[in-house]
A and B are shown apart, each in its own frame.
Chain A
Amino acid sequence: MNALSEFAMLIGGVLAILVVATVIGQVLKARMGPGNDVVDNLVARINAWWGMVALLTLAMLGGQAGVVILFALLSFAGLREFLTLTAKRRADHWALVVSFFVILPVQYLLIWADWYGMFSVFIPVYAFLMLPIVVAVHGDTDGFLTRVAETQWGLMICVFAASHVPALLSLNIPGYEGKNVLLVAFLVVVVQLSDVLQYVWGKLIGRHKIAPRLSPSKTWEGFLGGILSASLVGAGLWWMTPFSPLEAAGLALIITLMGFFGGLVMSAIKRDKGVKDWGHLIAGHGGFIDRLDSVVFSAPIFFHLTRYFWAVA
């Protein structure tokens, strides 16, 4: 099969899930009546999923350009949310302007140019060292390390880590030429499905809280059920990857675990900063980071494992 027909099969499956979810949401809404917060939120989430799936499908059909542009925009939206909450003073203005309008676009141009040697060090080395220099020359030392470090964290999470999703398109995997966009689809579908399944298992049979101080809604039942069922689905999607079924299951397990812990880490930051959601632009979900935290934590690991074991230079 070629990439397009495999992609069409995947999207067909996703749309089938969405149709079922939408029907369930409407039935619950009709049965519980209006004003049930959990059901209202569920319906809002499902509606937002339609939009997100449409956007992702469109981007993937646009090939490398589509995926690079989509994730550059998502990085922009994520960084905008992250840096809203970080410590900053007037002296940081130029560092922030450079982060948004130089570092972010350059990182994605490097991804577009498939320049692995540069995009993998540009932020951790060059931006990491240049940013404190830009801040230091303004002479304001109050909370210096906190200000610089929090801005660097924003860049690492929202730009560097996120850019590893489109970076998958630069991998050269023998026998898999022209199909890399399916790796993007595999990563995003498995990790996001894991989030959804953790939510579903948690709502259905969740009893024991796994991290009550970080994230009161996460339960052991949701965690185990979500991770394992999403890994099974990942194994079932082996036909669209360069992996065997067993390898696909292993990678799916790793990225869903990374996704879970990514959500936990980002929740810890939200607690620390005293907010419930990162933003408000995705109805029912919160901000962009609320939806992307799991993908962002799993993407670099997935990229490097695939690159090391399956790709050639």
Chain B
Amino acid sequence: MLHRGLPLLVGNVISLFARVVTAVRGVWQGVEPVPRQRIYFANHSSNGDFVLIWTVLPPALRARTRPVAAADYWLTGRLKAFIGREVFNAVLIDRNPETRRHDPIAQMIAALDEGASLILFPEGTRNMTDDTLLPFKPGLYHLAQARPETELVPTWIDNLTSVMPKGQVIPVPLLCSVTFGDPLAVVEGEDKADFLARAEAALTALAEEVAR
């Protein structure tokens, strides 16, 4: 019991902290919070991003939703490894093609095949620029091709950059929201570049809608 209980407790404490700082609100605009297999693909500006998405998911969905995260960040140090592996049950991928022993796409597909939904940041790294998004990495396309029945849900995390600007450690309490847009799928005959452009456009459009 204890080995299942502790990660759950730590997860709830982290969520509570996220709520105190951001009063985060989930806006289910394009999809409902129902147990369907999904890939939530979101903008990435802070290490707290997946915590906010995780926090607004209903507990039943939360248990089956795994963030995709960088092993090089989450496996440095025992506390981070505990949080990454045990609390959030992250799919930890090695971003460095030189050193990695597992194919990240294969790892993500394996997680989908076990029934999990994924939280994915297709920009691949944190966006420190003033642009809305960095160019997407191709992983989202490969996943969509391999498992076309999975819903791809654009997910916009708003205002977390103001809470924790680059390089700061103390968060400023400000309201944040997580908005889920209309799901996408790869269209018959669509190539990689076209699909990624469409996915980027969908998330950018969602960001503009939230800003209004």
Q: How far is the CB of A32 from chain B (nearest CB, A)?
A: 26
Determine whether A280 belongs to the interface, using a CB cutoff of 8 Å to chain B.
Answer: yes
* Distance between Cα atoms of A248 and B9 in the complex (Å): 51
Chain A residues with CB under 8 Å of B25's CB are 280
Partner of A80, one of B166, B175, B212: B175
Known A-B contacts A88-B162, A90-B165, A90-B166; the reply to A100 vs B172 at CB < 8 A is yes
Whether A76 pairs with B166 at a CB distance below 8 angstroms is no
Interface members, chain A 77-99 (any B CB < 8 Å):
77, 79-81, 83-84, 88, 90, 93, 96-97
* Distance between Cα atoms of A118 and B12 in the complex (Å): 40
What range describes how many residues of B lie at the interface? 10 to 19
Whether B173 pairs with A279 at a CB distance below 8 angstroms is no
Residue of A nearest to B165 (CB): A90
Determine whether A101 belongs to the interface, using a CB cutoff of 8 Å to chain B.
Answer: yes
Whether B166 pairs with A83 at a CB distance below 8 angstroms is no
Whether A84 pairs with B170 at a CB distance below 8 angstroms is no
Whether A81 pairs with B170 at a CB distance below 8 angstroms is no
Determine whether B6 belongs to the interface, using a CB cutoff of 8 Å to chain A.
Answer: no
Known A-B contacts A84-B159, A280-B25, A281-B23; the reply to A97 vs B172 at CB < 8 A is yes
Whether A84 pairs with B166 at a CB distance below 8 angstroms is no
Residue of A nearest to B172 (CB): A96
Chain A residues with CB under 8 Å of B175's CB are 80-81, 84, 279
Whether A76 pairs with B173 at a CB distance below 8 angstroms is yes
Residue of A nearest to B21 (CB): A80
Whether B162 pairs with A80 at a CB distance below 8 angstroms is no
What range describes how many residues of A lie at the interface? 10 to 19
Partner of B170, one of A83, A88, A97: A97
Interface members, chain B 169-193 (any A CB < 8 Å):
170, 172-175
Interface centre among B159, B166, B170, B172 (most CB of A within 10 A): B172
Whether B165 pairs with A80 at a CB distance below 8 angstroms is no
Chain B residues with CB under 8 Å of A90's CB are 165-166
* Distance between Cα atoms of A96 and B23 in the complex (Å): 17
Count contacts between A and B, CB distance < 8 Å.
Answer: 32
Interface centre among B159, B168, B212 (most CB of A within 10 A): B168
Query: Interface 1/0s, chain B 89-112, versus A by CB < 8 A?
Result: 000000000000000000000000
Query: Interface 1/0s, chain A 35-48, versus B by CB < 8 A?
Result: 00000000000000
Chain A residues with CB under 8 Å of B173's CB are 76, 79-80, 100
Query: Interface 1/0s, chain B 13-34, versus A by CB < 8 A?
Result: 0000000000101000000000
* Distance between Cα atoms of A100 and B168 in the complex (Å): 15
Interface centre among B166, B173, B212 (most CB of A within 10 A): B173
Chain B residues with CB under 8 Å of A79's CB are 173
Residue of B nearest to A280 (CB): B25
Interface members, chain B 129-170 (any A CB < 8 Å):
159, 162, 165-166, 168, 170
Chain B residues with CB under 8 Å of A280's CB are 23, 25
Chain A residues with CB under 8 Å of B162's CB are 84, 88
Chain A residues with CB under 8 Å of B168's CB are 93
Chain B residues with CB under 8 Å of A279's CB are 23, 175
Q: List 15 A-B contacts (CB under 8 A).
A: A76-B173, A80-B23, A83-B172, A84-B159, A84-B174, A84-B175, A88-B162, A90-B165, A90-B166, A93-B168, A93-B172, A96-B172, A100-B172, A101-B170, A280-B23
The 4 tightest CB contacts between A and B, nearest first, are A96-B172, A84-B175, A80-B173, A90-B165
**Residues of B near any A CB (own CB < 8 A):** 23, 25, 159, 162, 165-166, 168, 170, 172-175, 212
**Residues of A near any B CB (own CB < 8 A):** 76-77, 79-81, 83-84, 88, 90, 93, 96-97, 100-101, 274, 279-281
List 16 additional contacts besides A83-B174, A90-B165; criterion CB under 8 Å: A79-B173, A80-B23, A80-B175, A81-B175, A83-B172, A84-B159, A84-B174, A84-B175, A90-B166, A93-B165, A93-B172, A96-B172, A97-B170, A101-B170, A280-B23, A280-B25
